[in-house]
Structure 1
Amino acid sequence: MKKISFLFIYILVTISFSCSGPTITDDLLDGEVVFDPSLYNPEQFLVSAKYPIPTPADLNKHIILAVHGYTATTFEWQEFQDWSVTPSYRISQVLLGGHGRDYNAFKNSTWEDWRSSITSEYEKLIALGYTRISLVGSSTGGTLLLELVNSGYFNNHLHPKNIFLVDPIVVPSNKLQTLVGIIGPMIVYVETDQTAAENNYWYRFRPYETINELNNVMSIVRKGLENGMTLPSGTYLKVFHSLHDPVASTTSSVLIYKGLKTSSGSKIEVQLIYSDIHVFTRLNLRTKVTLLQKNNQLDVFNQIANKLN
């Protein structure tokens, strides 16, 4: 009874703070000013836009699509881009559909819209003649990549060489997130606690409609893992997950490990990282970054890069 009463009070408090529309100013990503440069300068982020007529030398390079998470932008993988100085591979930073625009564009987007940016760039690269393509997804970016595996998308397209997942969310750490479908119309949105600098790269206000979309795609992936999922032939997959992830429960990676197999029936690889931050590969704008956090980031960057050579 006490647990039920606490939950009821929590819901009432949440509703009292967010029962009307958010107050949005143009210094927020949620505003009408376009912040993400990939929208007005795509050739600096997408390989297909930067090299529309690739040379044989270009086509010989390994391409990795870097996919950010829910409410984020291409900024989430900029550190990997900046770190990567090798000429042997190139990174295509994908902005999820519906993201990087104003609040209403985000509010009206579906998880299928988010995913469409991934498949669009993937198919453009294939059409240009690239044959070595890998993908890395953080948080919901990883969830969307798992959904592509589950849906059989890669059965009819070039099989990716590698798929890397960083803190993929299949089960949220906050169990109250699943209640959004019930109380969503009353709460309207959830406001996140983030810095002024982070307001330029992540939505501060999360419409309940988009939280529902996130719950929906997570549910699809969970069911797929329960039924058993198989990677395309020749595709390697590894999961990296923060041991104390405050957003994506490590149960997510347990389900992935149990429910996903290689085409030969082998288990996929999972590495738990001693960390208490979500998407531990993104350190810019975080406060008090430790040496351990820097080493965790470099370890993953090196592991990804070494698989692309």
Structure 2
Amino acid sequence: MKTAFSLFVFAIIGLSCSREPTITNEMVDGGTLFDPSIYKPELYLVSKAVPVPTAEQAKKPVIIACHGYSATTFEWDEFRAWANGRADFYLSQVLLNGHGRSYEEFKKSTWQDWQSAIMAEYDALTKAGYQHISLLSSSTSGALLLELVASGYFANRMAPRNLLLVDPIIIPSDKSLSLVKALGPMLGYVEAKQGAAEDKVYYHFRPQETLQQLQSLLTVVRRDLEKGITLPSNCNLKVYKSKKDPSADPVSAVLIYKGATLSNGQPIDVELIDSELHVYTRLNLREVVTNQDRQNQTATFTNIVFRVLR
């Protein structure tokens, strides 16, 4: 999820405006622009680039990077650029199903659809013989990964080496998201405050149906954490959490820390980041980026790779 919502404000607007947004072809919502991974998946997915790895390639670590609600593979482009073609690991940038396409396709998608793209790449890589896979997430995809663990997805599969969650959302910073079930049908959609450049890589309009899906996912994961989530054997979990996140309340990290444990009963790792950004690892197209933001990004990218390679 890219930005916080104010459903109280949009409720008032929604009473006097059309329930269908005005979409232009310059927006990813319009169905004219598509995420580039749709055109050339081999440039984004290891399963497409190297479908039959050699024994040596199969041993090389793979990081599956998953973006957040309303976003696209763009959210991890800077990580790929930072890695700059280094040869000690592979990077797969997954496009969540329902994303990076038209508003209508986004509107009809469910959180299970979003999650299925992660599962498809993970299954394709394990079937191909890759032996060292880690999952990297931002925002909502962090909740999707936690749900995979809680639901037993990895019970009969090779376990991932790492789950690395950047600004995972369990509790939204804007608590009015909880009202989407009541207000959503009246609103139809909410509109993001973002520039024209961001409209090409993030949905400008968020259908109330998808906001309800987001709320349902977060409810499921909160309950899973209350019951307790145990990581698979030999799988580590680290949370990187911005201290002043406008979209994902920092208490999300607390809930994950309290509700998730390693297979040996040891606690997971949580690092609080001195940042006021949501998904602080994505800096391109932001209006204001500080030296601290750039240092945070570099430090996190470095730590992610360190954990994957160790």
Q: TM-score, normalised by structure 1?
A: 0.95
Q: Distance in 1 between matches of 2:22 and 2:16?
A: 12
The reply on whether 1:51 has 2:35 as its aligned counterpart is no
Q: Hey, what does 1:248 align to over in structure 2?
A: 248
Deviation at 1:15, TM superposition (A): 2.0
**Compared with structure 1, are the counterparts of its residues 17 and 247 closer, same or farther at alpha carbon in structure 2 (3 Å cutoff)?**
farther
Q: Which runs of 5+ in 1 are unaligned?
A: 1-6
Displacement of 1:58 in angstroms is: 1.5
Q: Distance in 2 between the 1:8 and 1:39 partners?
A: 32
The residue aligned with 2:35 is 36
Partner of 1:81: 80
- The alpha carbon displacement at 1:13 in A equals 1.8
Amino acid at match of 1:191: E
Matched with 1:193 is 193
Moved more, 52-61 or 24-33: 52-61
Cα distance change, pair 173–130 in 1 and its aligned pair in 2 (3 A) = same
2:202 is matched by which residue type in structure 1? W
* Partner residue, 1:166: 166
Which residue identity is paired with 1:48?
S
1:215 is displaced (CA, Å) by 0.4
Q: From the superposition, tell whether residues 261 and 284 of structure 1 become closer, same or farther in structure 2 (CA, over 3 Å).
A: same
- Give the CA deviation at 1:12: 4.5
The residue aligned with 1:3 is none
Q: CA deviation at 1:54?
A: 1.4
Q: Could you tell me how far 1:16 is from its partner in structure 2? A: 3.3
Residue aligned with 1:303, SS: helix
Deviations 1:1-28 (A, max 9, x none): xxxxxx9974642323654200111100
Question: Is the Cα–Cα contact under 8 Å of residues 257 and 267 in structure 2 kept in the other structure?
Answer: yes
Match of 2:306 in 1: 306
Kept after mapping to 2: 8 A contact 1:18/1:189: no
Q: Distance in 1 between the 2:28 and 2:38 partners?
A: 13
The residue matched to 1:154 in structure 2 has which SS?
A: coil
Amino acid at match of 1:46: L
Letter in structure 1 aligned against 2:110? T
Q: Match for residue 3 of structure 2?
A: none
Match of 1:4 in 2: none
Q: Which residue of 2 aligns with 1:151?
A: 151
**Change over 3 Å in CA distance of 1:100–1:119 after alignment to 2:** same
Question: What's the C-alpha RMSD, in Å, of the aligned pairs?
Answer: 1.4
Residue identity over aligned pairs, in percent, reads 49
Q: Size of the alignment, in residue pairs?
A: 303
State whether structure 2 residue 210 is matched by structure 1 residue 216: no
Contact residue 8 and residue 176 of structure 2 kept, 8 A: no
What is the distance in 2 between the residues matched to 1:18 and 1:135?
A: 41
Q: Which residue of 1 aligns with 2:101?
A: 101
Q: TM-score, with normalisation over the residues of structure 2?
A: 0.95
Gaps of 5+ in 2: 1-5
In 2, Cα distance between the equivalents of 1:8 and 1:245?
Answer: 18
Query: C-alpha separation between the residues in 2 aligned to 1:143 and 1:8?
Result: 22
Structure 1 residue aligned with 2:268: 268
State the distance in 1 between where 2:108 and 2:249 align: 27
| CA pair 18-158 structure 1, distance change in 2 beyond 3 A | farther
CA distance in 1, matches of 2:218, 2:231: 18
Q: 1:17 to 1:51 in 2, by over 3 A?
A: farther
Contact 2:26/2:33 (8 A) holds in 1: no
**RCO greater where, 1 or 2, for CA within 8 Å and sep 6 or more?**
2
CA-to-aligned-CA distance 1:222-255 (integer Å, 9 cap, x gap): 0000111100010011000110000000111110
Matches within 5 A, 1:291-302: 291-302=291-302
For 1:25, the aligned partner's letter is: T
CA distance in 2, matches of 1:33, 1:155: 40
* 1:68 alignment counterpart: 67
